Structures are given as C-alpha cells and as structure tokens.
Amino acid sequence: MRIWLARHGETPWNRDRRAQGWSDVALSDRGRAQARALGELLGSTRPEAIYASTLSRAWETAEAVARPHGLGVEGREDLWELNQGILEGLTIAEMLQRHEELVSAWWRDPGDQVLPDGESLRQVQERAWRVIEEIRARHEREVIVVTHNMVIRAILIRVLGLDFSRSRCLKFGIASLNRIGWNGGSSPSLELFNFLDHIEGS
C-alpha cells in the first residue's frame, strides 16, 4: 500500500507569506501551472482513488491530478489545513508584531498549543490520520492525497515517530510530493520526501 501526499499549488497568500489556514484562497496562475505539472508527474501512477481537502486551493490541484486518470476526487474536511485562528490572513512579520508571545509558544510546542479560535498540530494529526486509516481500510494499492503543508507535516511526524517540537525540521515546497508506504507490516515508512523536480525553479 502506498499513499502519495501532494501539497497544493501556489496561492497569492503563499506568495505573500500570509497564513491561510481555513481561509479559502484560490490558486494563482502559477499555482494552476504547478497543479498541471503535478498531474503530469503523477500521470504514470495507477491510483485507485484520489482524496483531497475541499478547500479550493487543494481541490483545484486535485482535479488537475485526477484528470489524466479519469477519476473523481473524494473530498474530506479532515484534510483541511491547520486552523490558525486569529493568525489567519497575517504575514509572518505581522504575526510577530501583534502576537509575538503566542507565535513563540506555538513554535515551541505546536502539538499542544491551541491557537486562539484555531487548533493545535496534534488535533490536525488526529483528524488527518483518520483519513489515512480510512484509505488503508478501503484500498490496497496506490492512493493520492492532495492537502496542505501542516497536514502533511502532521502525518509525517507520526510516520517518523518525531516529537511535535521537531515539526519545523520538516520543510515542504509548494506542490511538492511525498510518499508513505506499508510493505507487509503495520507501520508505514517514508519512501519519498519533498520531491520537486516537476516544479520550475524549485
């Protein structure tokens, strides 16, 4: 069993380094080109299904990935990005200016630090892993999941057995590709990390 974990293409807020979270920000023109490139790259795979966050930046990316396979996309709200609460819409500079103590506390302990009006990375991991378990129960070979930075981070923290405090060590490019797999055992392994060869200028 293999699960491809794809991050969505670029949005204007990615370009501005602005926290998106649950805000429904659409892809930029560059992001649409990245989604098409991701679809071309994954065109040689044979997925049984394609799952995606229903936020439009991930959904549009997933549709581009699904097109070569003639598959529909199965939406899951449990694959939504980390809800960043009061930080959403702010640039990193604005976060540090207005909420420096909160940002520092979250960077130290993202697993248990719940963002005001938002959630913690542990909560993201719990809901995202439910989707992983559902996929494993329903499918046997290959599945593609299109989702968000913090969701992929939360999944890989669990796969690698890392503490949440190490989450910032995992860096994923926009429209990057990762893969986890189960080779006859109950524990997954990381088979591909932050693959970006399909993205121009990566």
Which residue has 């069993």 as its token pair? 1
Catalytic residues: 8, 81
What DSSP string runs through 108-150? H-TTT-PPTTS--HHHHHHHHHHHHHHHHHH-SSEEEEEE-HH
Q: Per the domain annotation, does 201 fall within a domain?
A: no
Residues 69 and 148: their CA atoms lie apart, in Å, by: 22
Q: What's the Cα-to-Cα distance from 179 to each of 98, 102, 170, 193, rounded to whole Å?
A: 37, 32, 14, 7
Residue ranges making up the domain that contains 62: 2-195
Print pLDDT tens along the chain (202 aa): 999 999 999 999 999 999 999 999 999 999 999 999 999 999 999 999 999 999 999 999 999 999 999 999 999 999 999 999 999 999 999 999 999 999 999 999 999 999 999 999 999 999 999 999 999 999 999 999 999 999 999 999 999 999 999 998 999 999 999 999 998 778 899 999 999 999 876 5
Q: What is the pLDDT of residue 186?
A: 80
Which residue has 């229903």 as its token pair? 54
Q: Per the domain annotation, does 202 fall within a domain?
A: no
Predicted TM-score (pTM) of this structure: 0.96
Q: Which domain CATH number covers 68? A: 3.40.50.1240
**Total of domains in the chain:** 1
| Residue (of 138, 144, 113, 183) closest to 7 by Cα position | 144
